[in-house]
Structure 1
Amino acid sequence: MQKDAYTLILEAIDGGVYRPGDRLVEAELAERFGVSRTPVREALQRLETQSMLARDGRSLIVASLDHNQLAELYVVRAELEALAARLAAKHATAEEVKVLSDMVAADRAHLDDPAALSRANRRFHKQIHLASHNRFLVQQLDLVHRSMALLATTSLAAEGRGETALAEHAAIVEAIAAGDAGRAQEALRAHISKAFETRLKLDAGAV
């Protein structure tokens, strides 16, 4: 299925092709993605209404999050992710648990590559969302993770954070595999809290 202009631009932002502060030019995007300017214009308007893009004079740029927005985003993310882990502990199939476990093992290969580890991290969290078997929760988490693309750096770039994060992932999977909803929920909430703490330190130049 051919992707529309909105999806193509969103994926480019999510993949770091366009970073916070980068200017998006209608003609350049149309040429880059091989589509006409009309769907690009409509996609840009849609992304602006979703606060993914911001106005800078007459130009549209990729938005960035200030300190308060970052804090608000992490509060929502922690609660929704914790709920996803709780539901996954109740509803995940044996196959889904196996996929999560395999992801943790495979992701160790990316410890020296923060960008690859960040992509692997998103896949891991998405798998937990799907294992919750709640389509409305998955939709809300998709919105949260879309906003996460507006962060210029990954907390996984901090020294030693990758190793710690994978240990936290393993603890989450262990709780889901055991069907322990309470432990899975708290393990994931603690994981997000630690990621937020690390990001704050990164932004403050403390790590």
Structure 2
Amino acid sequence: MQKDAYTLILDAIDEGIYRPGDRLVESELAERFGVSRTPVREALQRLETQQMLARDGRSLIVASLDHNQLAELYVVRAELEALAARLAAKHAAPEEVRVLQNMIDEDRGKLNDPEGLSRANRRFHHQVHLASHNRYLVQQLDLVHRSMALLATTSLAVKGRGEAALDEHQAIVDAIREGDGEAAAAALRAHISRAFETRLKLDAAGHGTAGHWAEAL
């Protein structure tokens, strides 16, 4: 199925083709994606309404998150993802648990590839969401993760964070496999908390602002 202009632009932001602060030009987008300018214009207006884009004079740029927005996002994400893990422990099929385990096993081979690990991390979390078997929760988490795309690069490059994150993923999967919803929720919430702490330390050390560090999980 052919993607519309809105989805094409959103995917480009999510994939890091366009990063926070990058200017989006209607004519250039139309040429890049091989569509007319009218659907591109409508897509840009929609993304601006959703606060994925911001005004910089007369130009539209990819938005970034300030410290307060980032903190709010992590609070919501921690609670929604904890709920997803709790439901996954109750509803996930054995095949889904095996897929999650395979993801962790494969991701340990990506520890020297922070960008690849970041993409794999997003896939892992989305698989946990799907294992909740709750379409409304998945929809809400998709919106939250869309906002995470407004963070530019990966803090999984921080020494030791990648390996620690995978160990945290393992604790989540172990709890889901055992059908222990409370343990799964606690493990997921702790995982998000440690990721947020990593980001705060980076900001405090002056290595980046909220708008310049990507998903730390």
Fold match by TM threshold 0.5: yes
| 1:53–1:60 CA contact under 8 A, matched in 2 | yes
Report the AA paired with residue 91 of structure 2. Answer: H
> After superposition, what is the alpha-carbon deviation per residue over 1:54-80, rounded to whole angstroms, capped at 9, x for unaligned?
000000000000000000000000000
Matched residue, 1:157: 157
Cα separation, 2, equivalents of 1:177 and 1:203: 36
Matched residue, 1:7: 7
TM-score (normalizing by structure 1) = 0.98
Query: Offset at 1:158?
Result: 1.2
| 1:175–1:184 CA contact under 8 A, matched in 2 | yes
Cα separation, 2, equivalents of 1:86 and 1:94: 15
Cα–Cα, structure 1 residues 152 and 204, in superposed 2: closer, same or farther, change >3 Å?
A: farther
Report the AA paired with residue 200 of structure 1. Answer: L
Matched residue, 1:182: 182
Cα separation, 1, equivalents of 2:101 and 2:31: 41
Cα separation, 2, equivalents of 1:51 and 1:86: 30
After TM superposition, the runs of 4+ consecutive aligned structure 1 residues lying more than 6 A away are none
Matched residue, 2:173: 173
Report the AA paired with residue 153 of structure 1. Answer: T
5+ residue gaps in structure 2?
Answer: 208-217
Report the AA paired with residue 133 of structure 1. Answer: H
Matched residue, 2:212: none
Query: Offset at 1:81?
Result: 0.4
TM-score (normalizing by structure 2) = 0.94
Matched residue, 1:56: 56
Does residue 20 of structure 2 align to residue 29 of structure 1? no
> After superposition, what is the alpha-carbon deviation per residue over 1:90-133, rounded to whole angstroms, capped at 9, x for unaligned?
00000000000000000011101111000000000000000000
Matched residue, 1:194: 194
Count how many residue pairs are aligned between Structure 1 and Structure 2.
Answer: 207
Cα separation, 1, equivalents of 2:203 and 2:64: 13
Matched residue, 1:147: 147
Cα–Cα, structure 1 residues 59 and 206, in superposed 2: closer, same or farther, change >3 Å?
A: closer
> After superposition, what is the alpha-carbon deviation per residue over 1:7-66, rounded to whole angstroms, capped at 9, x for unaligned?
110010000000000000000000000110011000000000000000000000000000
Report the AA paired with residue 153 of structure 2. Answer: T
Superposition RMSD in Å: 0.9
Cα separation, 1, equivalents of 2:5 and 2:42: 8
> After superposition, what is the alpha-carbon deviation per residue over 1:123-165, rounded to whole angstroms, capped at 9, x for unaligned?
0000000000000000000000000000122231211100000
